[in-house]
């Protein structure tokens, strides 16, 4: 009979009996490990097949359990953003994505989330504070603090998802601005009234929009996305249900709807504005928008293509407002967002209840109220004098009504938002 072919690692010890031997290198120790097995009543082919199986089993045993894939900060942040985008306002989601990609991921994106330490974050923050814009100017402290807040938010989400046990940024403070308090400026009620009066005469195309911002305190995007159905003259309110950013309509910043008051003064301004849209036969009126504008015709379109209806961008009012401030003799810089601050100040000056203010303006608490308020020197002076008179009452008896009267005088003669 012909002899069976020899196979390395398979030895016939008796008719129908084979001894199988396999060897593999242990990656942990670098030493060779062997395994043996005896097969009875099996042909050579079965022994050869069993050798391959036994070798695979040994190699798997030596490798041990599969190590979980290391999740980098880039991987987690990208997946978190994809899952969160649908719940964010369009501009907020776009800003999160661009800030992550430009200012956070280049330095810490390839580091495992579980290995990010407080020192890593402080080092990143220090380098971010030294970064320069393409024009060579440094980024503001507010910008760096905004990047830190995004970083902090992503790490908080990683804790909630069980990726890391704690947030290493929890006890780190964002970069603080050393700018003077007046950087976030607002207009006094008298100045705001003067600006609106000038707008009616010199910037009629922007008057109604400016008045809406000033007399309701709504955000620019919320005013841009207003529809006529949102305005209830019978109830004297405006329903804030959406926001527009760069012409894209989405949810409000807080993802909540709210109701703001409609004063008779603003009601009349909006009535005049609507009559003007009707006189112009503005196509945006048919779509229901309160403040529609005409966009640019797409390149390559036929000459008779009408311009599309779009909504106001946040930059449209910057130059008109600057011109109005100059005409009013107001030399300090007040941004368009400063109109919202001005409204918050007016609410505080007329003694509006904090609960009503929060519901109207959309602030979540007293911290944001303080952030938006600008207390004038006259208010500080009268408050200090009132405390001194109260403490030193035994030496100088001043009726409390006198102090309250001076506080009212310092707060201005306005008796309500309509007078702004």
What CATH number does residue 79 fall under? 1.10.150.130
* 28-37, 99-108, 160-169: the lowest-pLDDT one: 28-37
Which of these, 77, 98, 87, 94, lies nearest to 154 by C-alpha position?
77
* Residue 291 predicted with pLDDT over 90: yes
Residues 30 and 81 in one domain: no
Contact 31, 62 (CB under 8 A): no
In a domain, 253, yes or no: yes
Longest dimension (CA), the chain: 131
Reduced to 3 states (helix: H, G, I; strand: E, B; else coil), residue 398 is: coil
Question: What is the reported pLDDT for 252?
Answer: 84
In a domain, 243, yes or no: yes
HSE-CB for 326 with a 13 A CA cutoff: 8
Task: Show which of 179, 204, 233 is a domain's final residue.
Answer: 179
Label residue 402 by pLDDT band (50, 70, 90): very low
Question: What is the reported pLDDT for 380?
Answer: 46
* Residue 56 predicted with pLDDT over 50: yes
Question: What is the reported pLDDT for 25?
Answer: 87
Residues 49 and 90 in one domain: no
Residues 259 and 205 in one domain: yes
Question: Could you tell me which residues are beta bridge partners of residue 310?
Answer: 293
Q: Name the residue range of residue 149's domain.
A: 73-179
* 52-56, 83-87, 176-180: the lowest-pLDDT one: 176-180
Tokens linked to 14: 């008796």
At 189-243, the pLDDT tens digits run: 888 899 999 999 999 999 999 999 988 889 999 999 999 999 999 888 899 999 9
Average pLDDT over residues 344-350: 77
In a domain, 53, yes or no: yes
Residues 236 and 115 in one domain: no
Q: Which residues touch 297 (CB under 8 Å, ≥6 apart)?
A: 305, 306, 307, 308
Task: Show which of 179, 198, 223 is a domain's final residue.
Answer: 179
**Residue 37: exposure state from Cβ atoms within 10 A (0-12, 13-18, ≥19):** middle
The enclosing domain of 246 has a CATH number of 1.10.443.10
Q: Positive or negative, the Cα torsion across 413, 184, 386, 354?
A: positive
Residues 252 and 170 in one domain: no
* Residue 177 predicted with pLDDT over 70: no
In a domain, 374, yes or no: no
Residues 157 and 245 in one domain: no
Residues 196 and 314 in one domain: yes
Give the number of domains in the chain. 3
Label residue 78 by pLDDT band (50, 70, 90): very high
* 67-71, 85-89, 108-112, 365-369: the lowest-pLDDT one: 365-369
* Residue 64 predicted with pLDDT over 80: no
* Residue 394 predicted with pLDDT over 90: no
Check residues 377 and 120 and name the one with the higher pLDDT: 120
In a domain, 175, yes or no: yes
Contact 262, 232 (CB under 8 A): yes
Residues 206 and 279 in one domain: yes
Percent of the chain's residues with pLDDT above 90 = 38
Question: What is the reported pLDDT for 200?
Answer: 93
Tokens linked to 23: 């060897």
Strand pairing class (243-245; 292-294): unpaired
Mean pLDDT of the chain: 81
Residues 315 and 259 in one domain: yes
Task: Show which of 140, 157, 179 is a domain's final residue.
Answer: 179
Residues 211 and 338 in one domain: yes
At 190-204, the pLDDT tens digits run: 888 999 999 999 999
Residues 133 and 115 in one domain: yes
Average pLDDT over residues 94-123: 93
In a domain, 385, yes or no: no
Residues 234 and 342 in one domain: yes
Question: Could you tell me which residues are beta bridge partners of residue 36?
Answer: 21
In a domain, 141, yes or no: yes
In a domain, 152, yes or no: yes
Q: How far apart are CA 339 and CA 213, in angstroms?
A: 6
Q: Positive or negative, the Cα torsion across 348, 350, 351, 352?
A: negative
Q: How far apart are CA 152 and CA 99, in angstroms?
A: 13
């Amino acid at each position: 009979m012909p002899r069976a072919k020899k196979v390395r690692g398979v030895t016939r010890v008796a008719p129908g009996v084979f001894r199988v031997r396999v060897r593999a290198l242990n990656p942990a120790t670098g030493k060779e490990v062997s395994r043996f097995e005896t097969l009875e009543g099996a042909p050579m082919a079965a022994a050869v097949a069993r050798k391959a199986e036994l070798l695979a089993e040994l190699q798997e045993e030596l490798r041990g359990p599969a190590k979980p894939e290391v999740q980098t900060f880039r991987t987690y942040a990208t997946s978190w953003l994809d899952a969160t985008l649908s719940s964010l306002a369009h501009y907020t989601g776009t800003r999160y994505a661009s800030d992550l990609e430009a200012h956070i991921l280049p330095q810490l994106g390839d580091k495992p989330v579980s290995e990010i330490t407080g020192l890593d974050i402080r080092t990143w923050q220090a380098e971010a504070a030294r970064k320069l814009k393409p024009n060579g100017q440094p980024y503001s402290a507010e910008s760096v603090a905004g990047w830190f807040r995004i970083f902090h938010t992503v790490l908080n989400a990683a804790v909630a998802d069980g990726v890391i046990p704690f947030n290493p940024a929890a006890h780190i403070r964002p970069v603080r601005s050393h700018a003077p308090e007046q950087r976030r400026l607002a207009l006094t009620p008298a100045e705001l009234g003067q600006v609106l009066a000038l707008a009616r005469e010199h910037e009629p195309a922007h008057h109604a929009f400016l008045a809406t911002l000033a007399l309701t305190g709504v955000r620019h995007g919320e005013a841009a996305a207003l529809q006529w159905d949102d305005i209830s003259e019978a109830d004297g309110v405006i329903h804030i249900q959406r926001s527009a950013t760069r012409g894209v309509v989405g949810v409000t910043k807080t993802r909540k709807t709210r109701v703001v008051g409609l004063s008779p003064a603003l009601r009349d301004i909006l009535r005049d504005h609507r009559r003007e849209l009707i006189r112009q036969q503005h196509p945006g009126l048919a779509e229901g928008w309160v403040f529609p504008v005409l966009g640019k015709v797409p390149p390559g379109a036929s000459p008779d293509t009408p311009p599309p209806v779009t909504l106001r961008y946040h930059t449209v009012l910057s130059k008109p407002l600057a011109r109005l401030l100059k005409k009013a003799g107001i030399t300090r810089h007040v941004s368009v967002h400063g109109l919202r601050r001005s409204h918050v100040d007016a609410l505080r000056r007329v003694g509006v209840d904090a609960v009503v203010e929060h519901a109207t303006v959309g602030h979540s608490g007293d911290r944001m109220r303080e952030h938006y308020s600008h207390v004038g020197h006259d208010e500080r002076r009268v408050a200090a004098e009132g405390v001194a008179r109260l403490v030193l009452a035994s030496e100088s008896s001043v009726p409390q009504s006198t102090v309250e009267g001076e506080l009212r005088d310092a707060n201005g003669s306005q008796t309500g938002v309509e007078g702004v």
